[in-house]
A = this chain, B = another copy of it.
Amino acid sequence: MVKALAQRSRVTIADISARAGVSTATVSRALNGDTRISAATRRRVHDAAQVLGYTVDILARSLQSGRSGLVGLVLGSTDNPFYGELLQEVVRQSGERGTRILILHAGFGPMERPTLEAILQYRLDGCIVSSAEPASQVAALCEEHGVPAVMINRLPMLRTAAVACDNAAGGRVLADLLCRGGHRSFGIVMGPVAASTAREREQGFTSHLAEHGFNVSHRFIRGEDEMPVTSYGGGWQAGLDIANLPVRERPEAVMAISDIMAIGVIDALRQCALRVPQDISVVGFDGIREGARASYGLTTVRQPLRQMVTWSLDLLDRISGSSTQAETLLIPGELVIRSSARPRC
């Protein structure tokens, strides 16, 4: 009695079995909803558990079952609000399914070895990878050890699965919008490290333009030294460069490879007294909340975040156990027309 209180020792199924007068096996079964247990016993067990304040020890369960109920998440730099939104959605949905999120990485750059090994050490049920650099490391490790992995918005690597927004199609839709808006010269803005995502977007954009007899006259690759990915700072620099172009050379429309870059571009253009969209149209890609602010009114292609996460989690469930196969789900993005691109010439 005193001891129990003093030691704050964990309440185990053994405690319940004692109190309910059944074996621990029965307790386990009752608690896990095994239908073979009589209603009466089940009640007694549940009551006892309730009274004692029992909670399963997932560590113990996992040791036995091999599944931890943990999903690893690899995030890029939260400098890009997209990752924050992704995190929130992943946490929400995985919570609903009763699985928890272990953060493996959040930031730019590669992962360190010990961090990577957490995948094995904690017997993760799966991994969701949404950042560029660590993708291949994680893919290799998961592949080798049979841990399901799904890339969000990255090309599937090795035999991992992937779910992505249809980047190429999105690029095409934006090109189309700008063409219809009567723009005749185009620029594109992207970060130094071109992830597959960026390349696809560009490719879709460029090829659609080509089909209509246009091409991309200016291609700005700008980034911050410390973080050579798509970033506000990179967009800002590109914006300044665009503003400094001789007027006749200046593209009438610019597609930024991500919303965060587009926002940087817009700020820089305005800084230089250029008006968006009157003087120049700017479109982005991602659909982050910030783009919806009245001060930006960013026209963009929104990634179907919710669905992408749902499918990722489904995929993880499905491929766990079965031999991992490279399966790719492509979801169309949604064109969101606001005010940063001129509708008519």
Q: For A102, what are the chain B residues with a Cβ–Cβ distance below 8 Å? A: 70, 100-103
Query: A186 interface residue, CB < 8 Å from B?
Result: no
Q: Which residues A35-63 have CB closer than 8 A to chain B? A: 55-60, 62-63
**Is the beta-carbon distance between A106 and B87 smaller than 8 angstroms?**
yes
Query: A196 interface residue, CB < 8 Å from B?
Result: no
Other A-B pairs beyond A87-B106, A232-B290, 16, CB < 8 Å: A57-B123, A59-B68, A70-B102, A73-B103, A77-B88, A78-B84, A78-B88, A81-B81, A83-B84, A91-B103, A95-B112, A95-B114, A100-B104, A236-B293, A267-B293, A271-B295
Q: Mark A3-31, 1 if CB is under 8 A from B, else 0.
A: 00000100000000000000000000000
Q: Which residues A66-125 have CB closer than 8 A to chain B? A: 68, 70, 73, 77-79, 81, 83-85, 87-88, 91-92, 95, 98, 100-107, 112, 114-115, 117-118, 120-123
Query: A294 interface residue, CB < 8 Å from B?
Result: yes
Query: A212 interface residue, CB < 8 Å from B?
Result: no
Determine the interface band of chain A, counting residues with CB < 8 A from chain B: 35 or more
Q: Which residue of B lies closest to A79 (CB)?
A: B289
Q: For A275, what are the chain B residues with a Cβ–Cβ distance below 8 Å? A: none
Q: For A118, what are the chain B residues with a Cβ–Cβ distance below 8 Å? A: 58, 100
Distance to closest chain B CB from A92 (angstroms): 7
**Is the beta-carbon distance between A59 and B62 smaller than 8 angstroms?**
yes
Q: For A58, what are the chain B residues with a Cβ–Cβ distance below 8 Å? A: 118, 121-122
Distance to closest chain B CB from A145 (angstroms): 7
Q: State the A residues within 8 Å of B (CB).
A: 8, 55-60, 62-63, 68, 70, 73, 77-79, 81, 83-85, 87-88, 91-92, 95, 98, 100-107, 112, 114-115, 117-118, 120-123, 145-146, 232, 236, 267, 270-271, 289-290, 293-295
**Is the beta-carbon distance between A146 and B8 smaller than 8 angstroms?**
yes
Instruction: List 25 A-B residue pairs with CB atoms under 8 Å apart, sorted by A's residue number.
Output: A8-B145, A55-B117, A56-B121, A57-B121, A57-B123, A58-B121, A59-B63, A59-B68, A63-B63, A70-B102, A73-B103, A78-B81, A78-B85, A81-B81, A83-B84, A87-B87, A87-B103, A87-B106, A92-B106, A92-B107, A95-B112, A100-B104, A100-B122, A102-B103, A103-B103
